[in-house]
Structure 1
Amino acid sequence: MFVAALFCAASASAQCTGDGVQLYPSPGGIVPTNMRLLLEGVGTARSPVLALVGKPLTLEAEGHAVKLKVTKGWESTLGRAIVILKPAEPMQPDKRYTLRLDALLPNVSVLNGRAGVQPSWLSGKGPDLKAPKWVKRPAVSEGFVRRSPQGIARFVKLNLALREESPSYLVVKLAPRRLGVSPQQYLLPVQSNTAYLGHEACGGAFALEDGRSYRARIEAFDAAGNLAPSTPPVDFEAPSAKGP
């Protein structure tokens, strides 16, 4: 059963994500009143998302609206980019807030939302003021490679555990263990104490070279932007697609 579950998780991570946007925290959940949003542009939506920097966006609820300041986040070399949406004030408790994406990104697909519905969240009872705490520091448990007609997907699986009630994320600064190569820096969502670092066959967060040695410097934060304590870097080798 464990092997089957692992194969399903790996296969899901290796699937190609279509063009559109993803939001973190994912739409539909309960979030702290001081939540900040992360908006990712994938594929053809990458450039339009980057163009939002400096433009106004709004979270709207019945009787209340929160203005969002759009600032630059991180860019991947593989067709993705993230901007940070910082609220000018907290949301009010126990209200449904909708992000009016359609004003600036008409007809964009929200890849982790409901089709045809503007993304929304339910605000919780109050703000999240506590930083996440490490219960288990990140470590690479395994790597995998998947071949498809589109190309090769390559990931390593990071196991970790944080004491945190709201959604958590990692910002990874990844550098090869050789001189003269610029590091990559991007976001990884944490799900069920796991994060997948690598790329799909047709894009992704991090480019991994076959069998190359890497060092990952990792920061963790929650939905309100509270940072976890620093943690030692993680060294690993990218999985190889070469057969025996």
Structure 2
Amino acid sequence: MTAKRVMSGGRVRPDTREGWPLTPGRRKLGDFVRSAVLILVLSWLFVPRAHAACTAEGVHVFPAPGSVVPTNTRFLLEGVGPLAERVAALPGRILRMQTAGHEVEVRIQRGWTSTLGRATVVLRLSEPLRAGQSYTLRLDDVLPGVKVLNGGGSTAPEWISGRGQDVARPRWLKRPAVREGISRRTRDGSERFVKLSMSLLEDSPAYVLVTLSNRQGDMASQHYITPLQNGVALLGHEACGGAFALEEGKSYRAKLEVFDAAGNTAPAVPPLLFEAPVAILENR
């Protein structure tokens, strides 16, 4: 049967377009092509980018935002990626900690620089915080719009001040020890860490300042800081940067200096000796 099209005035005429109407087979082919194109578009939109892990740009603040801190706390501000250079240039600048009816001046002092694209400065309060208050650090005074990577991407990190000052030194429950090595090769590069067990009696957040030297003597010492998390310190680097450069299979000596958020230091301990782990290739 010849298909017809309705024209103005109600007249009809045969439809001479080739292949019209579509046969069932051609309809199925058209549906298949449209579905395939849709799948390709969605795949392109949602496929993980090969170097997504290398795009982090922002800062870390320690103690972590949202935590309870002693009223005489100090803060550490770490720049990651392109922000490292800007953070390293901040010493001498002034920040503010604010709560309702109270503002504290925060002086930025020199800290430490990693060989792998990170820099940390020390933030010292000009006076103690008031107990039991929620304080906001005005990072926008010196780094407008910066994202706090360990604070959910916030640009205005907050903390709760505790009941008072921390004046007690951290105490060792056990001597620090090497727990395990983690190493793998990925498409983004090598990731290599050594986990240190750091068992302390300490209520405030704590950190370890590490002087890392190669026992073969063929590299300069590295001097940088890392936070303690659940009694563990991580020495090493991710695929795109980190705190310490470790070469697989090489022997290292780590001198450890531990202090809490208020700056109280733990008793000295002997250096740790370890070998950097060898990477396992991962297909990812």
More helix by share: 2
- SS of the equivalent of 1:21 reads strand
- Pairwise CA RMSD: 1.4
Q: Which amino acid aligns with 1:227?
A: T
Quick one: structure 1 residues 94 and 242, their matched pair in 2 at CA, closer, same or farther if it must change by over 3 Å? closer
Residue 56 of structure 1 contacts residue 68 of structure 1 at CA under 8 Å; is this kept in 2? yes
Q: Equivalent residue for 1:170?
A: 208
Corresponding letter in the other structure for 2:104: V
Partners of 2:273 and 2:122 lie apart in 1 by 28
* Corresponding position of 2:122: 84
The yes-or-no answer on 1:148 pairing with 2:186 is yes
Alpha-carbon deviations, 1:27-50, whole Å to 9, x = none?
A: 011110000000000001101111
Does 2:79 align with 1:44?
no
Identity %: 53
- CA distance 1:179–1:102, shift in 2 (3 Å): same
Distance in 2, Cα, partners of 1:210 & 1:114 = 33
Distance 2:174 2:75 in 1: 26
2:149 is aligned to 111
8 Å contact 2:140–2:155 — kept in the other structure? no
Q: State the match for 1:198 in structure 2.
A: 236
| Structure 2, gaps ≥5 residues long | 1-52
Structure 1 equivalent of residue 131 of structure 2: 93
CA distance in 2, matches of 1:220, 1:23: 18
Asked if the contact 1:16–1:200 (Cα under 8 Å) also holds between the matched residues in 2, the reply is no
Which residue in the other structure is 1:120 paired with?
A: 158
Shift in alpha-carbon separation, 1:116–1:189, aligned structure 2, 3 A: closer
Question: What is the DSSP-based 3-state SS (H/G/I as helix, E as strand, rest coil) of the residue aligned with 2:77?
Answer: strand
Tell me the amino acid that sits aligned with residue 186 of structure 1.
Y
3-state SS, counterpart of residue 151 of structure 2: coil
- Cα distance change, pair 242–62 in 1 and its aligned pair in 2 (3 A): closer
Q: Which runs of 4+ in 1 moved over 2 A?
A: 114-117, 178-181
**Is residue 25 of structure 1 aligned with residue 66 of structure 2?**
no
Note if contact 1:217-1:234 (Cα within 8 Å) is conserved in structure 2. Answer: yes
Name the residue aligned to 1:11.
Answer: none
In 2, Cα distance between equivalents of 1:178 and 1:42: 29
TM-score (ref. length: structure 2): 0.78
CA distance in 2, matches of 1:237, 1:115: 35
Find the residue that maps to 2:84 and give its secondary structure: helix
Q: Does 1:75 align with 2:113?
A: yes
State whether structure 2 residue 254 is matched by structure 1 residue 225: no
2:64/2:150 contact within 8 Å kept: yes
Q: Which amino acid aligns with 1:55?
A: R
Aligned residues: 229
> What TM-score do you get using the length of structure 1 for normalisation?
0.90
For the residue of structure 1 that corresponds to 2:149, the secondary structure is coil
3-state SS, counterpart of residue 87 of structure 2 = helix
Aligned to 2:254: 216
User: Secondary structure of 1:47's partner?
Assistant: helix
**Larger Rg computed on CA atoms:** 2
Structure 1 residue 64 displacement after superposition:
0.9
